[in-house]
Amino acid sequence: MDTQVETPPAPLVDESTPAVQPLTQASTTPAVQSPAQGSATPAVEAPATQELASEPPPPKAVTPAEEEEASTESGKKEEPKLDINHIKEELQNSIIAGNIPQLVLHMITYATGIEVSDIHIEPMEKIVRIRFRIDGVLRLIIEYPSNIHPAIVSRVKIMSGLKIDEQRVPQDGRMQITTEDGKNLDLRVSTLPTVNGEKIVSRIQDKSKTIPDLPNLGIQGENMKKMERFLALPNGVILVTGPTGSGKTNTLYSTLSRLNTVGVNIMTFEDPVEYQMDGLSQSQMKPDIDYDFASGLRTALRQDPDIIMVGEIRDQETIEIAIRAALTGHLVLSTIHTNSAVGTLTRITDMGVKGFLIASAIRGIIAQRLVRRVCKYCKELYTPEPKLVEEIKKELEGVDPNHFDIKKLENIQLARGKGCDKCGDTGKKGRMGIFEIMEMDREVGSLILKNAPDTELMDAAKKGGMITLKQDGYIKAIQGDIPIEEVYRVVQ
């Protein structure tokens, strides 16, 4: 079912619209409203723009948040405070007042101000909770009584163009919001009927976000040199791998933005198109009408391409066309769902691709994970336990000395955040990637032809200079970029 509806952009603050007090008689009544009443309150009927305009300027917690990358570069702008307690208090006030539109508006305003990627509104048996995903981890923001949930669901559905009277099947919708500072936000709203009522998850995408350059993602030293060699290739397949939410798409966009020059035709086949980049021909897949990655890729070959990006390789057909494209002189970038660089080779073999095709077409594999950074405002250094020091030394033994200065192992210090008002007392703020970048060389290629096991491929890749995910994580922990426990969280 395709119920996706685009609602007109709703500016968060629209100066031209007169302020309207949403606190009407109806909405000050105790927070007990049936779904029917909920959707019939005056505030719900008012267009979103008016209510949005009625809001006072957002409190400190939601001043425009700079991109982590941008802020580390300039370091000029004051970081917003992540004052979870203040947000909780404001939302609590709206709940007590029974002001559903205000509650929903505050929820969205706060979420967009502190770089929340997803808002979860989930009914449980007796209460409903709102959680925000911040830097990849969910945080409980507030709980409210179940009896106001139908009104909140109706409110969100109206704002995202969904049917309020349809509660039995999942629905997908969108909201577009422009913030005061000109950020264009796209909220993808998904509803799901659960045994306790409808659950709503909203993914927030900042369309005006600038694409960070590769080093800002965490690609450093020898890894960056490998990336530069990949970027200079006239043809071949480059794959980015990792679990969902490991930052694969960002890496592809950052790579494309380096390749994006007037001299080349870059075509992308995506589902969904997450950022729009000038100079690229970006195509949105529509699997329901059989326009999928494989058919997109076939079309690309008739469009005189130089560089082709395919959202994901999931099946034999797609990988085979990608390899054919590479062997006929094109550079193909894509993602694949595996755990490691070496595991990707095994996965492609399992898809039924012949070893000689893999060895000749695949030029590089980038495995990655996203980890949280140490909050720079409350960072402190400490000396780890001797046992951990030994473990780190053992893991980093034999790492390419061009990538990492072995002398740093003599006096290992790690970093952690004490917790402050900039990081919501978590000690962590922002995220970066840890990477394992494998370059196809003669040694690895000949092992693929022999159908060698993973362990042998891994040894050969390491001998060829590959830094493993764990090693890159340890190096970043020693440099004081990330807390060491983040490495254990994402790498087994």
User: Using the rule CB under 5 A, is 375 a contact of Zn ion?
Assistant: yes
Q: How far is the CB of 422 from Zn ion (least distance, A)?
A: 5
Interacting stretch for Zn ion, rule CB under 5 A, among 35-43, 48-56, 205-213, 368-376?
368-376
Of 149 and 428, the one with the shorter C-beta distance to Zn ion is 428
* Nearest residue to 130 (alpha-carbon basis) of 110, 157, 113, 158: 110
Among 206, 282, 314, 377, binds Zn ion (CB under 5 A): 377
Of 313 and 375, the one with the shorter C-beta distance to Zn ion is 375
Interacting stretch for Zn ion, rule CB under 5 A, among 160-168, 217-225, 247-255, 412-420?
412-420
Longest dimension (CA), the chain: 77
Of 305 and 424, the one with the shorter C-beta distance to Zn ion is 424
* Nearest residue to 332 (alpha-carbon basis) of 458, 233, 431: 233
Among 378, 414, 448, 484, binds Zn ion (CB under 5 A): 378
Interacting stretch for Zn ion, rule CB under 5 A, among 261-269, 300-308, 397-405, 421-429?
421-429
Of 22 and 424, the one with the shorter C-beta distance to Zn ion is 424
Of 222 and 421, the one with the shorter C-beta distance to Zn ion is 421
d(CA 299, CA 297): 5
Q: How far is the CB of 79 from Zn ion (least distance, A)?
A: 9
User: Using the rule CB under 5 A, is 71 a contact of Zn ion?
Assistant: no
Of 365 and 420, the one with the shorter C-beta distance to Zn ion is 420
Of 291 and 377, the one with the shorter C-beta distance to Zn ion is 377
Of 214 and 423, the one with the shorter C-beta distance to Zn ion is 423
User: Using the rule CB under 5 A, is 82 a contact of Zn ion?
Assistant: no
SS (H, E, C) the chain: CCCCCCCCCEECCCCCCCCCCCCCHHHHCCCCCCHHHHHHCHHHHCCHHHHHHHCCCCCHHHCCCCCHHHHHHHCCCCCCCCCHHHHHHHHHHHHHHCCHHHHHHHHHHHHHHCCEEEEEEEECCCEEEEEEEECCEEEEEEEEEHHHHHHHHHHHHHHCCCCCCCCCCCEEEEEEEECCCCCEEEEEEEEEEECCEEEEEEEEEECCCCCCCHHHHCCCHHHHHHHHHHHCCCCEEEEEECCCCCCHHHHHHHHHHHHCCCCCCEEEEECCCCCCCCCEEEEECEHHHCECHHHHHHHHCCCCCCEEEECCCCCHHHHHHHHHHHHCCCEEEEEECCCCHHHHHHHHHHCCCCHHHHHHHEEEEEEEEEEEEECCCCEEEECCCHHHHHHHHHHHCCCCCCCCCHHHHCCCCEEEECCCCCCCCCCEEEEEEEEEEEECCHHHHHHHHCCCCHHHHHHHHHHCCCCCHHHHHHHHHHCCCCCHHHHHHHCC
Interacting stretch for Zn ion, rule CB under 5 A, among 1-9, 148-156, 244-252, 414-422?
414-422
d(CA 276, CA 425): 35
Of 65 and 423, the one with the shorter C-beta distance to Zn ion is 423
Instruction: Please say whether the beta carbons of 491 and 473 come within 8 A.
Output: yes
Interacting stretch for Zn ion, rule CB under 5 A, among 139-147, 224-232, 328-336, 423-431?
423-431
Among 48, 420, 466, 490, binds Zn ion (CB under 5 A): 420
Of 84 and 378, the one with the shorter C-beta distance to Zn ion is 378
Q: How far is the CB of 23 from Zn ion (least distance, A)?
A: 36
Q: How far is the CB of 429 from Zn ion (least distance, A)?
A: 6
Q: How many residues at the interface with Zn ion, by CB under 5 A?
A: 7
Interacting stretch for Zn ion, rule CB under 5 A, among 13-21, 290-298, 322-330, 413-421?
413-421
Q: How far is the CB of 70 from Zn ion (least distance, A)?
A: 19
Among 130, 371, 423, 490, binds Zn ion (CB under 5 A): 423
Q: How far is the CB of 418 from Zn ion (least distance, A)?
A: 7
Q: How far is the CB of 384 from Zn ion (least distance, A)?
A: 20
Of 159 and 423, the one with the shorter C-beta distance to Zn ion is 423
Interacting stretch for Zn ion, rule CB under 5 A, among 185-193, 297-305, 330-338, 367-375?
367-375
- Residues that bind Zn ion in the complex, under the rule CB under 5 A: 375, 377-378, 417, 420, 422-423
